[in-house]
Each structure stands twice: as C-alpha cells, then as structure tokens.
Amino acid sequence: MKNILLIAFGFCLALILGFAFKVNSPIVHTDTIKENPKLGAFSISLSVKDLQVSRQFYENLGFTQLGGSMDQNYLIMKNENSLIGLFQGMFEGNILTFNPGWDENGKNIASFDDIRDIQKLLKNKGMIIDQELDENSTGPASMILTDPDGNLILIDQHR
C-alpha cells in the first residue's frame, strides 16, 4: 500500500512539475509549432518623403510617438494596438514587420516561437525565404520574405 501511495505521489508531482515547466518555458520550439507560428507584434514600416509631414498626419489620426526620433530619421507611432514606423530615406517601399517575443509596446512576452523555428516551419511549407538566418545561432536575428504581390515581410526577433 505504501508503494502505491509513493508511486501515485510521484506521478502527481511529475505532472505538476511538467506542467509548470512547460507553462514557464520562454520559447516554443518547432515540435510544438503545428501550422500557425506566433509572429509577435505587428507593425507596418512606411517609407515617407517628409518625416515631419507624416508625423503630423498620423498624430491627427490619433497616433503618438512610441520610439525613434526626428534626428534619426524615423519614428515609431502607436494608436492602441496599432503600430506604424515612419522612415525617411532608409529604404524604398513599405515593409510588414513582425517581432517574435514582443508585444505591441515593445515589451518582452513570456512565451514565443523562436525565429529559427519559424524559418524551419516556413521552409517546410515550401515558402521561399529571401534573406535567411543562421539556424544554428541563438538570440536576436531576422529574416525577410516577399509575399506574392511583392510586399516585403521582415520577421525581426530582438532577443
């Protein structure tokens, strides 16, 4: 009887510890990414002609400055959960940006899909990655792909 109680106690303890470590794990790895990776915060990066004019326009729409500066030729603007990056003279066209590991305030989130696992999943689905990252690396990394209409998509992990 004592052995059965010890086995039952050990089993319960193993379940509790297993659940606790799974919930607190900061990165979800490929074997748990089935079809839909967690891409993190979304923003659009706009190439603008006049940063001051664009800033005023988006402020009139209710956006406020979250980051960047006029001196650096870019501003990150926020309205509730919506983010827009305004960039003057840095690139051509507009870019859709995703930040795994961040929420819409640029704050770290506890659980996210690592960019290397996202790249593996996308490649396994037959998607073409224009600028791949080193799958053996760790920490910050980025990759670029292009949608069917020529829009650039930047997946940029900062941690």
Per mean pLDDT, which range of 23-37, 39-53, 91-105 is the poorest? 23-37
Longest dimension (CA), the chain: 79
- What is the rounded average pLDDT of the residues 108-123? 95
Q: According to the model, what pLDDT value does residue 34 have?
A: 67
Label residues 129-148 b or e (16+ Cβ within 10 Å = b).
eeeebeeeeeeebebebeee
Q: According to the model, what pLDDT value does residue 1 have?
A: 42
Q: According to the model, what pLDDT value does residue 14 have?
A: 36
Alpha-carbon distance of 8 to 98, in angstroms, equals 45
pTM of the predicted model as reported, rounded to 2 decimal places = 0.74
Q: Which domains does the chain have, with CATH numbers?
A: 28-157 (3.10.180.10)
Q: How many residues does the chain have?
A: 159
Alpha-carbon distance of 73 to 40, in angstroms, equals 25
Q: According to the model, what pLDDT value does residue 11 have?
A: 36
The better pLDDT of the pair 24, 60 is held by 60
Q: According to the model, what pLDDT value does residue 35 have?
A: 78
